[in-house]
């Protein structure tokens, strides 16, 4: 590729070819709209990633299910050995004896041990010792996963659902808004905006990094309107609303910031397609002074009003 071509556009690793109209590489929630197929089960297997990233309800459900299955397994072993090798078993029916073996297993795996039931003989004591060791490993792993989920920095940056093409000084600009709705302080915030568009008479796509009015802020306590001035050197210069649809444009936004609470970097992503861009609109001002404080109405992040384009 010629040097000039490299300066014209960047490849973000999202693929240069779109298979159909309405191509979207990045979903609104920041997840990539790419699915890998024909991968073997062992290649896809990643327990740590799955357990750390799954929903909390699924995580606790998985832990509970594993706990029940392990205790059921060892209760079955105790039953096969013979409940006469466990002292204090009072159940008469097989089901009652199995349930007492199950609760003895639960006491053993948690090293709780009330003392009512205890193993007798070499075989029963061996199984109980193995179960105690597995219990220590299981709860150490569960504790580590729980800490990993709590300590993982999560950014809940709220992006405006729509972007606008609005007047900016004596030209026009592409704009969207974002805000941090949580109380954690974000420092050294950086924003990157790129645009993906189809080439003329081609299914291939180019990726351009857009110049912004301001691409970083030291602090992020309020709402931020990100602006790309559509000047002569902009890849958007001279394009109208119809061109945006024909080129199947997609704006990709990436935010990086330092989270003061966790002491780690956090990231957030979103994107905008032509149907999510309003022309001849500008965002309304949402901050006001009250009792010596500046109030920012987050619920009005999408609110805009008509404006005449330059």
Nearest-CA neighbor of 253 among 185, 170, 161, 138?
161
For residue 14, is pLDDT > 70? no
Q: How many CB atoms lie within 10 A of CB 103?
A: 14
DSSP 9-36: ----SS-SB-SSTT--SB-TTS-B----
- Report the alpha-carbon angle 194-197-199, nearest 5: 135
Question: What domains does the chain contain, in order, with CATH numbers?
Answer: 3-28+161-306 (2.60.40.1400), 41-151 (1.10.287.70)
What pLDDT, on a 0 to 100 scale, did the predictor assign at position 148?
82
Q: Contact 171/231 with Cβ under 8 angstroms?
A: yes
Start-to-end CA span in the chain (Å): 37
What pLDDT, on a 0 to 100 scale, did the predictor assign at position 13?
61
Output phi, psi for 220, to 5 deg.
-135, 60
Task: Note the Cα 197 to chain centre separation in Å.
Answer: 26
Q: How would you label 163-176 residue by residue, b for 16+ Cβ within 10 Å and e otherwise?
A: bbbbebeeebbbbb
Q: Contact 211/174 with Cβ under 8 angstroms?
A: no
Residue 233 confidence class, pLDDT cut points 50, 70, 90? very high
Residue 3 confidence class, pLDDT cut points 50, 70, 90? very low
pLDDT in tens, 93-127: 889 889 999 999 999 998 887 778 888 889 989 99
What pLDDT, on a 0 to 100 scale, did the predictor assign at position 18?
56
């Amino acid at each position: 590729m010629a040097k000039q071509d490299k300066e014209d556009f960047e490849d973000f690793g999202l693929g240069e070819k779109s298979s159909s109209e309405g191509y979207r590489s990045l979903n609104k929630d920041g997840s990539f709209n790419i699915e890998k197929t024909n991968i073997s089960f062992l290649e896809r297997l990643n327990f740590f990633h799955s357990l750390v990233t799954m929903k909390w309800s699924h995580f606790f459900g998985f832990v509970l299910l594993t706990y029940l299955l392990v205790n059921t397994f060892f209760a079955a072993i105790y039953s096969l050995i013979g409940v006469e090798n466990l002292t204090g078993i009072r159940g008469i029916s097989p089901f009652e004896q199995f349930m007492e073996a199950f609760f003895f297993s639960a006491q053993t795996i948690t090293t709780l041990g009330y003392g009512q039931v205890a193993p007798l003989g070499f075989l029963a004591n061996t199984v109980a010792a193995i179960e105690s060791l597995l219990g220590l490993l299981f709860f150490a792993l569960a504790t580590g996963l729980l800490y990993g989920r709590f300590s993982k920095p999560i950014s809940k940056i709220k992006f405006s659902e729509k972007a606008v093409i609005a007047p900016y000084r004596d030209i026009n600009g592409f704009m969207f808004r974002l805000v941090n709705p949580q109380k954690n302080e974000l420092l050294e915030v950086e924003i990157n905006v790129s645009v993906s568009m189809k080439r003329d008479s081609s299914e291939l796509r180019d990726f351009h990094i857009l110049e912004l009015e301001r691409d970083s802020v030291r602090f992020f306590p309020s709402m931020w309107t990100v602006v790309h001035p559509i000047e002569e050197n902009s890849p958007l210069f001279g394009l109208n609303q119809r061109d945006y649809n024909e080129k199947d444009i997609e704006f990709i936004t990436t935010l990086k910031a330092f989270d003061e609470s966790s002491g780690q970097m956090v990231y957030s992503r979103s994107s905008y397609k032509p149907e999510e861009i309003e022309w001849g609109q500008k965002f309304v001002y949402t901050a006001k002074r009250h009792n010596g404080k500046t109030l920012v109405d987050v619920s009005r992040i999408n609110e805009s009003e008509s404006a005449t384009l330059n």
